[in-house]
Structure 1
Amino acid sequence: MTQLSVNINKIATLRNARGGNNPNILQVALDAERFGAQGITVHPRPDERHIRYQDVHDLKPALSTEFNIEGYPDRRFLDLIKAVRPAQTTLVPDPPHVLTSNTGWDTIEHQSMLRDIVAELHSYGTRVSIFINPEPHYFEPAKACGADRVELYTGPYAEQFHQDSEAAVAPYVEVGLLAKSLDLGLNAGHDLDLHNLAFLKARIPHLLEVSIGHALICDALYFGLENTIQMYRRQLELDPIA
């Protein structure tokens, strides 16, 4: 079964807009778990514009599901992982100034650096996933880096989905099979929502985890957080599409 990890960055953005502690990040994370989330994802950035580094420390001892920390592996981020030791660390290549992650790693150009970072992260007992574009030539180098999993950047899939769903998903099916042949676990994330999620899952049945934040939190404004999490869970549990 594909696991749903709820990214709570947008909750932190709302809190930070007014200062104080409303909404309470820790309480929202615990509620998300209680409502059916099978993991919690955070992506602390250097400017702490949403999730703060202290949030990460506060969340770790309280969570009962899998904790996934995403980020660019500068020294401060690596030290955070060393201190917190989450179940999974997802490496993303975004520099500090970008609004959101918008591409995957060039695992060919950065193979040496990634290999050293993955080895360091493994020494902290965390599983390592590398954020990656759906391009086959990046997958064997990702495996060579020592990664346990790759997370497919699904932004292009989401952009094309409503125009041509089959064309949109085709590259992901191809690299999904390649990842399986390389014994790389497969995650996915970015712009997945209630419209495109079940279709992706049906085409890639061995998908292990999806990380969803922006769309899920937007839907929660209309449907409520508990109902929304259950709606996303049901999308992942639908029978495959013929």
Structure 2
Amino acid sequence: MTHTALSVNLNKIALLRNSREGNYPSVVEHAKVCLAAGAEGITVHPRPDQRHIRPGDVYDLSELVKPLAGIEFNVEGNPFAGAQGSYPGFMALVEKCRPDQCTLVPDGDDQLTSDHGFDLTTSADSLKPIIQQLKDWGCRISLFMDPDIEQIKLAKELGVERIELYTGPYAEAYRQQSNNLEALFEQYKEAAIAATAMGLGVNAGHDLDLENLPKFRQIPDILEVSIGHALTVDSIAMGMETAVRRYHAICQA
């Protein structure tokens, strides 16, 4: 089984920090803990309302990760989000920090969290110039996608290097032990295998946790998982270093 990289999403550390004045807890210091515990990457998902990650966090984390061999910085978000107050716009953030990977997500500004992949039958044309710009900046591009093989074919046609499978429905089915869990799991597996056969790298993320991640890891060739909410919650009980090591062990299994 292919080793799967663990990229820790630090949004919820920033959310906690933002509940008070100052810089406590420090997003950068928690990133250092994650990397020391074995994480291969750091993910952030800045939004225009700055409810958690702020532009300064993006720049600071970029500076932390850039000199570290084998460690990647992944910035994800809505590529169409423009400037708003002190938020410079998603593409302006990416242009300044030039992350290793840019994961494009079809988020609306008012969404609580990401809850669907791109419908490329309607958004492909608007994404084309953005994808070209990101390539010019040297970023690997990943599109947030549902496990829909026809949609994944369209992602391949756009020339991106990877997709990130939106795993929210899988996580919910696992939590409820729904009757459709196995069928849904097979849908993700078939989508991942098809994407790999097309030459796309496959990432995954959203609501993966210590309970449902081992089963999901049975899918071959998942290159990276991005995990934030559940890992942060687990960190409250067991400490962040231990939580990262637990998730990393599953990714290496």
Shared fold per TM-score greater than 0.5: yes
Matched residue, 2:103: 90
Separation in 1, partners of 2:165, 2:200: 12
Specify the code of the residue in structure 2 equivalent to 1:195.
E
- Quick one: distance in 2 between partners of 1:14 and 1:114? 33
Q: CA–CA distance in 2 between the matches of 1:195 and 1:163?
A: 15
Distance in 1 of aligned mates of 2:217 and 2:168: 15
Q: Pick from 18, 21, 37: which aligns with 1:19?
A: 21
1:42 to 44, 49, 52: 44
| 2:26 counterpart letter in structure 1 | N
Is 1:191 aligned with 2:204? no
Identity of aligned residues (%): 46
2:141 matched residue in structure 1: 128
Cross-structure match for 1:67: 73
1-side partners of 2:91 and 2:118: how far apart?
17
Matched with 1:217 is 232
d(CA) in 1 for partners of 2:129 and 2:123? 10
Any conservation in 2 of the 1:85–1:124 contact (CA below 8 Å)?
yes
Cα distance in 1 for residues equivalent to 2:27 and 2:247: 21
SS at match of 2:46: coil
8 Å CA contact 2:42, 2:72 repeated in 1: yes
Return the offset for 1:167.
2.2
Q: C-alpha separation between the residues in 2 aligned to 1:234 and 1:87?
A: 24
Shift in Å, 1:23: 0.1
Work out whether 1:232 is the aligned partner of 2:247.
Answer: yes
2:11 corresponds to: 9
Residue 195 of structure 2 corresponds to residue 179 of structure 1: yes
CA contact (8 A) 1:8 1:29 kept: yes
Q: How many residues align?
A: 237
Identify unmatched segments of 5+ residues in structure 2: 83-88
Moved over 6 A (4+): none
Deviations 1:120-150 (A, max 9, x none): 1010000000000111110111011111000
Name the structure 2 match of 1:105: 118
Counterparts of 1:127 and 1:140, CA distance in 2: 18
TM-score, normalised with respect to structure 2: 0.91
Which deviates the most, 85-94 or 23-32? 23-32
TM-align CA RMSD: 1.0
TM-score, normalisation: structure 1: 0.95
SS in structure 2 of the partner of residue 61 of structure 1: helix
Q: How many angstroms apart in 1 are the aligned matches of 2:184 and 2:125?
A: 32
2:168 pairs with 1:155: yes
